[in-house]
Chains A and B, each alone.
Chain A
Amino acid sequence: MNEYSRGSIEERSRQLFDASVDGLDMRVRSRLNQARHAALDAARSKRSGFFSVPAWTSAAGVTAAGILGAVMWFGSPMMHQLSASHPAPVAADAQNLEDLDIVATSDGSSGDAIDMLQDDIDFYQWAADKTANADPGTVG
């Protein structure tokens, strides 16, 4: 039927195909070159995107920095509120803390310290009520 063997057809067609690839015109070569560079740019941008900081982390960082700054500027919110509108209770609280500190660090045994607290429990209850209910300007 024909003189071409299977191998000959394959080899001949491969040679023709290779020749047609080598003979591509400059327009096609140029466009393929551009397409290759576009693909490489895409690969590079994807790779650099992996190592860069994600967008959400910058937003979270700004938010965290804002909160930290506010806390550092204003101090504890409760302390700020008391110092702004109730200066006397602050002094009273500070004194109470100091008293507690003395009690806790007294040379006596811990049992003695608890006894002292129990002895004055009414006083402390009264002082607490007074502090909570009294007009800020009259306390202290």
Chain B
Amino acid sequence: MERFATLSHAWMAWDGPAPAPEDAALDHTKELEKFLAEVERRAFRIAQVSLRDEDDALDVVQDAMLKLARNYSAKPSSEWRPLFFRILENGIRDLQRRRTVRKRWMSWLPGPKEDPDEEAQDPMDNVAAPGPDAPELLMQDQAMRQLEESLRSLPARQREAFMLRNFEALDVAETARAMGCSEGSVKTHYSRAVHTLREQLGEVWS
């Protein structure tokens, strides 16, 4: 959407042949809603794989959606995907950094250590939506856990490159924008990630 330098410019545009701002805003909001609806669950899973925690993953995704809506919703919709995943990956990295600092401080304090990976979970949280038959679901679940473990064992940048390129189907240029690095780095990270995953999962999945 066009940005106006002043309010008078906006009024001039209003008087011109351009669509009324209310209609344009409505279309834009609908487009943004469609984009967020498409991307939110996948973004959550990406964050969950990286953070190992459901609530943290939800917080990071919510934060990413808010930031995109507040700061970048006026940009062309074609730019939303790499921008959104860049915000998401930054959020994931920030949270991981905070965790590292928190763990360091907690190790100096007496008493029980906080471990977010061992938080008590509500069994109902694991109730999945209707899907394939139970045996197949079990196999899928097991394979996915193996994949998650392997992804977590990767260096962060390799994991990001693999998930953005493979899961989100971002091309090399979009992935580079989302990761804030060069296209060459994306190719390198991705290639190494695939190589490592093939080594780790090839035998398990074959």
Contact = CB atoms under 8 A, between A and B. Distances in A.
Given A23-B131, A26-B129, A42-B70, A32 B144 contact: no
Contact of B54 (A28, A44, A46): A28
A51 B7 CA distance: 7
B120 interface: no
Interface in B26-77: 28-29, 32-33, 36-37, 40-42, 44-45, 54, 58, 61-62, 65-66, 68-70, 73
Contacts, number: 141
Contact of A40 (B7, B32, B61, B203): B32
A121 B68 CA distance: 79
Interface residues of B, number: 50
A13 B66 contact: no
Interface stretch (A3-11, A71-79, A99-107): A3-11
Contacts of A115: none
B198 interface: yes
Contacts of B194: 6, 9-10
A39 B197 contact: no
A108 to B, nearest CB: 53
A133 interface: no
A80 interface: no
Contact of A2 (B126, B129, B144, B206): B206
Contacts of A54: 7
A117 interface: no
A46 B197 CA distance: 44
A49 to B, nearest CB: 11
Nearest to A19: B140
A21 interface: yes
Interface in A42-63: 42-44, 46-48, 50-51, 54
A32 B55 CA distance: 11
B73 A38 contact: no
A39 B205 contact: no
Given A9-B198, A38-B62, A26 B127 contact: yes
Interface residues of A, number: 40
A21 B36 CA distance: 14
B196 to A, nearest CB: 10
A28 B56 CA distance: 12
Nearest to B32: A43
A46 B125 contact: no
A34 B109 CA distance: 37
A14 B166 contact: yes
Nearest to A23: B128
B201 interface: yes
A50 to B, nearest CB: 8
B206 A3 contact: yes
A9 to B, nearest CB: 5
16 contacts: A2-B198, A2-B202, A4-B202, A9-B197, A13-B201, A14-B166, A14-B167, A20-B140, A22-B131, A28-B54, A35-B65, A38-B65, A39-B32, A39-B70, A40-B36, A47-B29
**The 4 nearest A-B residue pairs measured at CB:** A2-B202, A35-B62, A4-B202, A39-B65
